[in-house]
Amino acid sequence: MSSPLFAANRRRFLSAVALGSAGCFAPGAFAEELLRTAAVEEGPFYPDHLPLDTDNDLLVINDATTPAIGEVTHLSGRLLDSKGDPIKNALIEIWQVDTKGVYLKDRPEHLGKFDSNFQGFGRFLTGSTGEYYFRTIKPLPYERRPAGHVHFAVKVKGREKWTTQLFVKGAPGNSVDMVYQRIKDPRARDSVTVDFVPVKASRVGELAARFDMVMGFTPEG
């Protein structure tokens, strides 16, 4: 579990993000369907066994005092339907490599060569605004994938699991990453490519990334 101080900071950060986005994504603000976020393959590295800690802070495992290595990133967004209305009670999962390029699933093959302080996987249940939030690290390229990315799975009751991958805008590896290049439609590619920008108030170089996901259905659909 995360510390009380982090929990308080997370609530303040999440509230600020929600207020800042409320005007842009007010329910009923769209007369036509929004551009859907591109679905991207899940890949083979979803954890075989979930960690004991699956909360939304991937930098600190349970009550550990040593955080994971990497550029701290506040990753947030909203889950919306095709009309721009929020989707609540959806389970959002993310997973990614640590700074040594190792997934949770790969750790048995890389004993002693991974960041044991990195949770590697997290979950968040969306509320009434469709908002989600994770504290993680900026994704990095690794041997098999030249484009740093974060895997996303969205689970909505009564629907099949939906997956995508989030990419870093302007990353050199995007141009040669096979998964990224398979997204041929420029608008679809843009829908999964996000800026990682410095947090102005941070004294330790934290980043923020905003990734709003638009599903291809409405509550009635």
Residues 6+ apart with CB under 8 A from 89: 125, 126, 157
H-state helical runs in the chain: 4-22, 178-181, 186-190
- Helix (H/G/I), strand (E/B), else coil: 142: strand
Catalytic residue among 10, 78, 103, 180: 103
Catalytic residue among 149, 159, 182, 203: 149
Catalytic residue among 10, 74, 135, 151: 151
CA 2 to chain centre: 18
49 is an active site residue:
no
Cα angle 61, 13, 127 (rounded to 5 degrees) comes to 80
110 is an active site residue:
no
Catalytic residue among 132, 133, 142, 180: 142
103 is an active site residue:
yes
Positions annotated as catalytic residues are 103, 142, 145, 149, 151
